[in-house]
Amino acid sequence: MSTDSPFLSLPGAVASGGSVAHYGDPVAEQRMLAAGRAIVDLGDHGVVTVTGEDRLSWLDSLTSQSIAQLAPGGSAETLLLDPQGRLENSIRLIDDGATAWLLVDGEQAGPLAAWLDRMRFMMRVEVADVSAEWATLAQLQPAGAAVLVEPAAPSGVPLIWRDPWVEVQTGGWQYSAAEQHPGGAFPAVELLVARANLPAVVESVRAGSPLVAGALALEALRIAAWRPNRRDADERTIPHELDWLRSAVHLSKGCYRGQETVAKVHNLGHPPRRLVMLHLDGTLSLLPEPGAPVLHGEAEVGHVTASARHHELGPIALAVVKRSLDVDAELAVPVDLPAAGGQPTGETALIAAAQEVVVPPEAGATAGVPRIPRLGAVRR
Q: What is the CATH number of the domain that holds 278?
A: 2.40.30.110
Same domain, 218 and 281: no
Same domain, 277 and 185: no
| Residue 249 lies inside a defined structural domain of this protein | no
Same domain, 195 and 281: no
Q: Which residues contact 174 (CB under 8 A, 6 or more apart)?
A: 168, 181, 243, 245, 246
Q: What is the percent of the chain with per-residue pLDDT over 90, rounded to a whole number? A: 89
In this predicted structure, what is the pLDDT of residue 379?
Answer: 45
**Could you give the angle at the alpha carbon of 218 between the alpha carbons of 214 and 221, nearest 5°?**
145
Same domain, 80 and 224: yes
| Residue 322 lies inside a defined structural domain of this protein | yes
In this predicted structure, what is the pLDDT of residue 3?
Answer: 47
Same domain, 288 and 204: no
In this predicted structure, what is the pLDDT of residue 370?
Answer: 63
Average pLDDT of the segment spanning 33-40? 98
Same domain, 67 and 14: yes
Asked whether the beta carbons of 265 and 85 are under 8 A apart, the reply is yes
Same domain, 136 and 217: yes
Give me the CATH number covering residue 139.
Answer: 3.30.1360.120
Q: How far is CA 17 from CA 2, 45, 92, 111, in A?
A: 9, 11, 21, 20
**Could you give the angle at the alpha carbon of 1 between the alpha carbons of 88 and 15, nearest 5°?**
115
Question: What sign for the dihedral angle of Cα 151, 154, 156, 160?
Answer: negative
What are residue 37's phi and psi, to 5 degrees?
-110, 0
What is the residue range of 195's domain? 6-232
As a whole number of angstroms, the distance between CA 142 and CA 46 comes to 25
As a whole number of angstroms, the distance between CA 103 and CA 78 comes to 11
| Residue 304 lies inside a defined structural domain of this protein | yes
pLDDT per position as a tens digit, 238-278: 999 999 999 999 999 989 999 999 999 999 999 999 999 99
Amino acid letter for position 368:
G
Same domain, 90 and 38: yes
Same domain, 81 and 204: yes
| Residue 72 lies inside a defined structural domain of this protein | yes
| Residue 363 lies inside a defined structural domain of this protein | no
Beta bridge partners of 79: 90
Q: What is the pLDDT confidence band of residue 19, given thresholds at 50, 70 and 90?
A: confident
Query: Last residue of some domain: 180, 211, 232?
Result: 232
| Residue 373 lies inside a defined structural domain of this protein | no
Residue 378 has pLDDT above 60, yes or no: no
Average pLDDT of the segment spanning 369-377? 56
Q: How many domains does the chain have?
A: 2
Same domain, 113 and 216: yes
| Residue 283 lies inside a defined structural domain of this protein | yes
As a whole number of angstroms, the distance between CA 188 and CA 163 comes to 5
Asked whether the beta carbons of 174 and 242 are under 8 A apart, the reply is no
pTM of the complete model: 0.94
Please choose, from the candidates 216, 219, 215, 194, the residue with its C-alpha nearest in 3D space to the C-alpha of residue 40.
Answer: 215
| Residue 86 lies inside a defined structural domain of this protein | yes
Average pLDDT of the segment spanning 15-32? 92
Same domain, 88 and 205: yes
Q: What is the pLDDT confidence band of residue 54, given thresholds at 50, 70 and 90?
A: very high
Would you list the DSSP string of 282-326?
-TT---PPTTPEEEETTEEEEEEEEEEEETTTEEEEEEEEETTS-
Would you list the DSSP string of 220-247?
HHHHHTT---GGG--TT--GGGGTTHHH
Same domain, 194 and 126: yes
Average pLDDT of the segment spanning 140-164? 97
